[in-house]
Chains A and B, each alone.
Chain A
Amino acid sequence: GNSVTQMEGPVTLSEEAFLTINCTYTATGYPSLFWYVQYPGEGLQLLLKATKADDKGSNKGFEATYRKETTSFHLEKGSVQVSDSAVYFCALSDSNAGKSTFGDGTTLTVKP
């Protein structure tokens, strides 16, 4: 079956530090890949997505590239802000099934 493994947290960084949250996946088909974010007290929302190999998703300074050869979709940001403190979830959606598979989430805390 499909699975998503993402970097365990929590992750604590200082403002303006570089962020990487690793995500690898296992899927039988050709999935679409997503990063969702859950800010404190809010619901999950889409951060970025990529639907085919070598696509790069980007939003709010975050980027992730769909790497089929390494089955990875690592999230990166060059300079984090305190407002980026949240829980980040990597997810995949398989074209052969409607449901998505989510990772366990990584809690990011950015300190001023």
Chain B
Amino acid sequence: GAGVSQSPSNKVTEKGKDVELRCDPISGHTALYWYRQSLGQGLEFLIYFQGNSAPDKSGLPSDRFSAERTGGSVSTLTIQRTQQEDSAVYLCASSLASESYNEQFFGPGTRLTVL
């Protein structure tokens, strides 16, 4: 079946511009996660959605970052007024539910480059 998809796969933008990154989770997965992976670094948690509950936004690095999930499916991560330090690979993952034993299925990521 279809896995997690993300678009675009690559995004180059100028400093100060806004960008939107999209994630389509696996159908039926109620939990959705966004991470950021900087070069040579591990995964930095950004935000997580579980069903209709309020999202856990504790990982968002600044108020320039926001995310929404419409209809419990597709999610969009928006970065306003991008900065060069925002350059990274943004990964989306989904899982059946938020129980700790559930594995997360990752998308291929969006590589963001801010010039």
Contacts and interface: CB of A to CB of B under 8 A. Distances in A.
Contacts of B101: 32, 49, 51, 93
B108 A89 contact: no
Contacts of B100: 31-32, 51, 93-95
Interface in B68-93: 91, 93
A93 to B, nearest CB: 4
Interface residues of B, number: 26
Interface in B36-51: 41-43, 45, 48, 50
Contacts of B50: 98
A43 B106 contact: yes
Contact of A99 (B48, B99, B107): B48
B42 A98 contact: no
A34 interface: yes
B97 to A, nearest CB: 9
A28 B22 CA distance: 33
Contacts of A36: 106
Given A51-B101, A95-B100, A100 B45 contact: yes
A97 B99 contact: no
B33 A43 contact: no
B45 A99 contact: yes
25 contacts: A34-B103, A43-B4, A43-B91, A43-B106, A43-B107, A43-B108, A44-B93, A45-B106, A46-B105, A49-B101, A49-B103, A51-B100, A91-B43, A93-B100, A93-B102, A94-B100, A95-B99, A97-B56, A98-B50, A99-B33, A99-B48, A100-B33, A101-B45, A102-B35, A105-B41
Interface of B: 4, 31, 33, 35, 41-43, 45, 48, 50, 56, 59, 91, 93, 98-109
Interface of A: 4, 31-32, 34, 36, 42-46, 49, 51, 89, 91, 93-95, 97-105
